[in-house]
Structure 1
Amino acid sequence: MDKVPDSSPEKMDDSELLEMTQQDPVQAKLLKQSLEHLASGLAGDTLKEMAQEVISGRLGLREAANVVAYTEQAVEQSAPLAERWASMSESERAALAAEGRRRLDEEQRQLEDEQRTEAEKRSSAKARHDGRGWSLY
Structure 2
Amino acid sequence: MDSAANNSDKPLDDSEFLEMTQQDAAQAKILRQSLEHLASGLGGAALKEMAQEVLSGRMGLREAADVSAYAEEAVQQSAPLAEKWASMSDREREELAAEGEHRLEERRRQVEEERRAESENRSDTKSRHDGRGWSLY
Structure 2 letter corresponding to 1:81: L
Match of 1:64 in 2: 64
Q: Output the TM-score relative to the length of structure 2.
A: 0.88
Per the alignment, do residues 11 and 66 of structure 1 end up closer, same or farther by CA in structure 2, a change over 3 Å counting?
same
Per the alignment, do residues 97 and 126 of structure 1 end up closer, same or farther by CA in structure 2, a change over 3 Å counting?
same
SS of the residue aligned with 1:105?
Answer: helix
Q: What are the Cα deviations for residues 3-55 of structure 1, in whole angstroms up to 9, with x where unaligned?
A: xxxx9732323111111111111111100000000000001000000000000
Per the alignment, do residues 103 and 14 of structure 1 end up closer, same or farther by CA in structure 2, a change over 3 Å counting?
same
Match of 1:22 in 2: 22
Instruction: Give, in whole Å, the separation in 2 of the partners of 1:87 and 1:106.
Output: 28
SS of the residue aligned with 1:126?
Answer: coil
Q: Which has the higher contact order (CA 8 A, sep 6+)?
A: 2
Matches within 5 A, 1:9-88: 9-88=9-88
Match of 2:98 in 1: 98
Match of 1:114 in 2: 114
Count of residues in correspondence between the two structures: 131
Instruction: Give, in whole Å, the separation in 2 of the partners of 1:99 and 1:87.
Output: 18
Is the 2:8–2:58 Cα contact (8 Å) retained in structure 1?
Answer: no
Instruction: Give, in whole Å, the separation in 1 of the partners of 2:11 and 2:86.
Output: 37
Unaligned runs of 5+ in 2: 1-6
Structure 2 letter corresponding to 1:42: L
Unaligned runs of 5+ in 1: 1-6
Pairwise CA distance, 1:128: 8.7
Per the alignment, do residues 64 and 72 of structure 1 end up closer, same or farther by CA in structure 2, a change over 3 Å counting?
same
Instruction: Give, in whole Å, the separation in 2 of the partners of 1:44 and 1:131.
Output: 57
Structure 2 letter corresponding to 1:126: K
Pairwise CA distance, 1:127: 7.4
Is the 2:47–2:74 Cα contact (8 Å) retained in structure 1?
Answer: yes
Percentage of matched positions with identical amino acids: 70
Instruction: Give, in whole Å, the separation in 2 of the partners of 1:24 and 1:113.
Output: 15
Instruction: Give, in whole Å, the separation in 1 of the partners of 2:8 and 2:68.
Output: 28
